[in-house]
Each structure stands twice: as structure tokens, then as C-alpha cells.
Structure 1
């Protein structure tokens, strides 16, 4: 049932039970009062109407509803009869409300779940089947009230209210509907084959049923996502560009402002400069994959972040870089930090190893003989500094060591 249909039915019910004509607009005002708002405009600004057990029940007392009916011009007796009938109507239809703030929080969870469970190259092919995903392969976050995406979509009044808000160019409504309708792109192949007369087995008919169910949902997802993107929502532009493989919308996301998944922006960037910039943003936000990519590209800032975490390879790289540029204090700082982790960068690790055969990769033993190779690192030659400078470098290293992230994750996400 849509909001318009609900208001019409409520109007008829109230007129029949109160014995007096009731304006349609007054039905909306009484609905607002039932949920604790002074007017319908105030209710619409703060919340949307829902049903099917979703959201919060009425908060307005009967006396307050009667008072509101009297304010609207109804006599006391008629107002009391109207309100009694209206309360029963709300209960019968299980009407409730959900605040825009609660829906906004759910939307944030929806985006977060999408990002954290991103295992594919394009970031939107969510096919994993477990309790965190619905039948469409889409992450299912919950509202603070414990309401899932599936439950939200089972509330016709909520969906109708959001569609009405979206029709009034409400960008949050467009974003919410896009998140609710989000699903994988349905494959029309078997459906088209069935139209050509191909006989399908039971499994194939099930796939066709899935297509027929998902195809209209996917169209709604595209429409609302596109409206949000064209309305200036950067995250929506990025999602549209990646899901629907549109370079124009990816470029739009680069031009817009606002919060967005920086690592995804780096992965789809239209220029090398944009990619490097977004990798830096993502790394600063704690995305380990972005930091690694920058480090392996020779980015000094990224190398030093890994060095600070105690990665000996990057400690050596950072120390060597400091020696090369003549920053003696920094070089000694990395040496002392390395010592805190049990490794002396000034000690050579060069050694001979067996090259092939049964002892391949083992320290070379002349008793076995055969081919060999030399591997390891030469000892780092540090510049001469004063005792005071060494003490300052040691203190700085200890400060970095004390601040190192604890645990295997090293406080970085592994996306």
C-alpha cells in the first residue's frame, strides 16, 4: 500500500466512524501527531512512514491526538471518536516511523559492508554466500534497531515513502533506495534463450526466475544511483561508474567533492597522477594495500610508514635513503629502531648459498659442492655523528618503537 492509498483509506475510515467529513490533509496531520510531531511537514523532515514491523511505533498520547484534532477544527466529541478510530487504524496497519538519521546510519553501514567485503577487481561483484549476505550477494547491514535490509524492503509503506521523497529530489532518499535495491547485474541469457523456444531444465528455470526477479530491481538500483550521482553525491558517482563500467561517471566522481572510498578511486583513476593522489589519501586513511603499492613504487613517505612498523626490509630502505640524501640523524634513527627489533643494519648478511640441487637455497657447504650464488645485504655504512646526536637518534627510535601498532594487523586494514 502506498502513502496515497493509505491516506485515502484512513480518510474513509475516519469519516465513517466519526460521522463528519475529514480532509485528506488532516489525515496526514494526525499521522504526524501520532508519531510525536507538530505537523506533517515536521514529520517528513525528520522521518518516513513505515509498516510491516519496521521502525518505531506511535509516540503521541490519545489526549495529544484529540487536542490536535480539535486544533484542526473538529468538535470535541467528533475529535474523540475520530482519534479512537485512528489509533485502531494505525494498529491494524502496523504503522511506524523511521528517522532519517537512523536510515542515514544504515546507509553508512551499507557502504562500509560493501567496502570491507570487497574481494573482486571491480569492487562490486559480491558473490560470496554466507550469513552476512542476502540472496542477491549483497551485504546486509542492520539498523541500530536490528532491522536488516531485507526487512526494510518488506515494508511497502517505507519503500513508498522513500520513492515519494526521491520524486521530490531528495538525494538521501535516492541513495537509500539505491542501497536497498543494490544487486548484481542479472544475466538475461537463459531468459532470452527460453523466448527462442529452448527447453530449460529445473535448474535453468530457477535461474530464469532469478533474472525476472532481479531485472526490475536492478533497473531501480541504476535509476536511483544515477539520480544521486547526477545530484552531486560523489560516492554514488563512483559506484555507478564501477558497477556500470562508465568512465564518464568515474570522471564525474573525480570532479565532485565529498566522502568517497579513496582506494577504489585509486583503482579506477583516469590518470596516473590521480591514482597516485588517491593512493596517498587511502594510505593515510589506513588502507594497507594502498600503502604497500606506494612503497613499492618508491614513495619515501610510504616506505617510512612501514619502517616505523618494524618491517626490516623497509627499515633498511629508509636508512639507505637517509644516507644517500645526507640525513645522518635520520639514518641513525632507523638503525636504532632496527636494533629495537633485533637487527643490526650495519652487519653484513652476505652469504653463499647452493644454487639448485638437493640443497638449493641452503648455506653453501663445500662438502656438497656444485653451483652457488651470493645473497644478502651488505652492512650499512653510517655517517659519523656526535655522541649527543646518537643519543637523540636513539631517543627518537625508542619513541617510534613505543608507538608501533600492536598485533598482526598493525592497525592497518588489509583491503
Structure 2
């Protein structure tokens, strides 16, 4: 189903049930109202329609909103009352819902393993503590893809980035298609008629090339519009430095991931900046790396990180070792055999003056207070 088909279906259903003629543009307005938006333009700026979304169960909560919007666009009260009931029931029956673009992007990143699901209170369209989109493949419906493509055609950067994530190849798969498939693909391109497994390989390779092309197109379009996560993806996959040249620390991305990418690209100044951002957000691993690699020449600053980590429940000065088997699994006395140690030493720092220590502790407390308020 595409968005035009959804609107047409709703239009025909309402006209049949109410005996009233509806403009197609008004149907879009009523569909948006069914999910609490004041206009279709407002919905399109923030969300897209999809199927199998938990939000489809919330439509009856907005029947009053549908009724009000129906009156606002020129229909009489008795018609509006019927429309509210009929449209809400149709949407629920068809399993139509919406997903906000920031939620969609967060879920796609979460599903790819690039990010942890954000615990920031901004993704609350889901029931209680139920994790959204248990079946992600089912959630990426033809309706959602059509809505994303429509939004992308209107230069919506988030829509382009969401499509890039949907079409993204695995990190070890881009330009790494199955050996032999490219040969049979080229044979087909040269006009050779293929059958059997050779044709399957050639077709699979062609499909993968098309997916890669969609991925790169949408990623580049999002990046061209300054989308920070798209720019970061270009840096991660293709060592494109544009992200670091265009975005300040205030941009809303995972600073630890940015620091890792910067380090891999040999951008040591950027690595230190983003590690510091991560540490200021409470990342104790970033604090350890700053102490061991980037802030060694500033002892008071290093001690600030040590004191901050302690406030967060981690003692960076303590050794971290566990007993393991030869294969790296935790040691089990019931299995026995040779025992090995795995882990790392705690950080070791020279002492500082009492005045410096007091200042370092104050600095740690100030950062800790900001972290608590994030």
C-alpha cells in the first residue's frame, strides 16, 4: 500500500458510509488529525505513516481531534461526528499507524548495533516498557517506504537518512559481494542468457548493486543537507572528513562513536575533543583513554577524571582482572584446567598538591552535577 492508496481507500470508505463527497486533500488532513496533528503538513514534517505500529491502537483517543479538524475544513457537525468514528475504526482495522522520524532513525541505528536505544525521554510513542518494533522487517512496510520516498523527494534530510539506513549494507559487505557473482552479472550484462544458479547469482548481484546505489544516493543527499549523522556515516564508512569540518561539539550524536571514528582517521585533535565530550557526559572509558593517551601532561585534569569516575561508581585506579580459560571464557572451577588472567591495570598517576586536588575534586563535582541533570 502507498500513501495515495491509503488516502483513496479512506476517501471511498467515508463517502460510502456518510453519503458525503470529500476532497482528497481533506482526507490527508483527517488522516493527520487521527494521530493528533493539526495538519498534514505538520505530520509530514515529523512523521510518516506505516503499518504494524503500536500507534494504530491510539487512534480512538483522537476521534475528537478528527471531528474538530473535519469541522475546521468546512464539513457540518453531524458529518464530522460520523467521520470521526468511521475513520478511526478503519485505521485501526487496517493497522495503520505512524512513526516519528527521530524514533525511526533511532530504531534503525539501534537495530544496526551502531547505537544503544536512547534513554532520553524523547521516544515515548510506545506502550509502557514494551520495546518498539519487535519485528523490524515487518515494520519497514511498503507504506512507510513510500512515505519516506515522498518526503525525501521534498528534500527532507531525516527521510533521506532513514532510507539510507534501511538500504545500508553491512559494514563488511559494501563492495564485498560474493565471489563469482560479479562475473555472472557481467556475463548477463554482455547479453549472455543465464539459467539456474548462475542466473540467481547474477540477479542477486544486480539487486545488491541497486541497494548500494540507493544507500549512497540517500546518504549523500542527507549529508548535502547537513544531516550530522549522515555526515558521520560518511566518515565512518568512507573516511570523509566533512563531519569534523562542519559540526561543533553541540551536535546531537554519540561522542564516543565520533571519537572512535576520528581516532581511526588519524584526527587526534578531534579524537581528544570528542573523548572529552564523552567524558563530560559520563563515559568512564573515555575518561580512562584521556588519562592514558591525551591528558597525561595535565595531572590535575587527569585526577579530575579519576574523581568524576568515582562519583559515577567506577574506580579507575583499581586493577581489573578475571580468571579465564584458554579460549577466553570465564574460568569455571567445575571444568578445571589451566587458568589465565585477563584484564588491565588501573591507571597510575603521580600525586598532586592539596590545592590542585581540591580544585580537581570541585571540577569533578561540577561535571557530575551537570551529568545528573542531563
Q: Give the CA deviation at 1:253.
A: 3.1
Q: Give the CA deviation at 1:79.
A: 5.1
Matched, 1:147 2:132: yes
Superposed counterparts of 1:232-381, under 5 Å: 232-243=226-237, 245-246=238-239, 249-257=240-248, 258-260=251-253, 261=255, 262-269=258-265, 271-282=267-278, 284-285=280-281, 286=283, 288=285, 291-292=288-289, 295-296=292-293, 299-301=296-298, 304-305=302-303, 309-310=316-317, 318-319=350-351, 330=352
CA contact (8 A) 2:56 2:95 kept: no
Between the aligned partners of 1:172 and 1:212, the Cα distance in structure 2 is: 27
Q: Deviations over 1:287-343 (max 9, x none)?
A: 636743762567223793487632698876524xxxxxxxxxx26x6xxxxxxxxxx
Between the aligned partners of 1:80 and 1:287, the Cα distance in structure 2 is: 57
Report the equivalent of 1:222: 216
Q: Give the CA deviation at 1:114.
A: 0.9
Matched, 1:180 2:180: no
3-state SS of paired residue (2:221): helix
CA contact (8 A) 1:225 1:236 kept: yes
Report the equivalent of 1:59: 60
Structure 1 or 2, whichever has the larger Rg, is: 1
Between the aligned partners of 2:291 and 2:194, the Cα distance in structure 1 is: 53
Between the aligned partners of 1:60 and 1:20, the Cα distance in structure 2 is: 24
TM-score norm. by structure 2 comes to: 0.62
CA contact (8 A) 1:304 1:315 kept: no
Number of residue equivalences: 303
Q: Deviations over 1:242-264 (max 9, x none)?
A: 21x24xx3244333232443322
Report the equivalent of 1:341: none
Report the equivalent of 1:90: 91
CA contact (8 A) 1:70 1:76 kept: yes
Between the aligned partners of 2:348 and 2:71, the Cα distance in structure 1 is: 80
Between the aligned partners of 2:150 and 2:271, the Cα distance in structure 1 is: 39
Q: Give the CA deviation at 1:3.
A: 0.9
Change in CA separation of 1:194 and 1:297 when aligned onto 2, cut-off 3 Å:
same
Change in CA separation of 1:78 and 1:105 when aligned onto 2, cut-off 3 Å:
same
Between the aligned partners of 1:290 and 1:210, the Cα distance in structure 2 is: 46
Between the aligned partners of 1:82 and 1:317, the Cα distance in structure 2 is: 71
Between the aligned partners of 2:124 and 2:72, the Cα distance in structure 1 is: 39
| Unaligned residue ranges in structure 1 (runs of 5+) | 118-140, 320-329, 334-391, 404-415
Q: Deviations over 1:77-122 (max 9, x none)?
A: 65566556534532342212234564465467568x41579xxxxx
Change in CA separation of 1:99 and 1:280 when aligned onto 2, cut-off 3 Å:
closer
3-state SS of paired residue (1:318): coil
Q: Deviations over 1:203-242 (max 9, x none)?
A: x998777655544443333222222222112332121132
| Unaligned residue ranges in structure 2 (runs of 5+) | 118-122, 308-315, 320-344, 366-374
CA contact (8 A) 2:67 2:80 kept: yes
TM-score norm. by structure 1 comes to: 0.56
Between the aligned partners of 1:81 and 1:314, the Cα distance in structure 2 is: 70
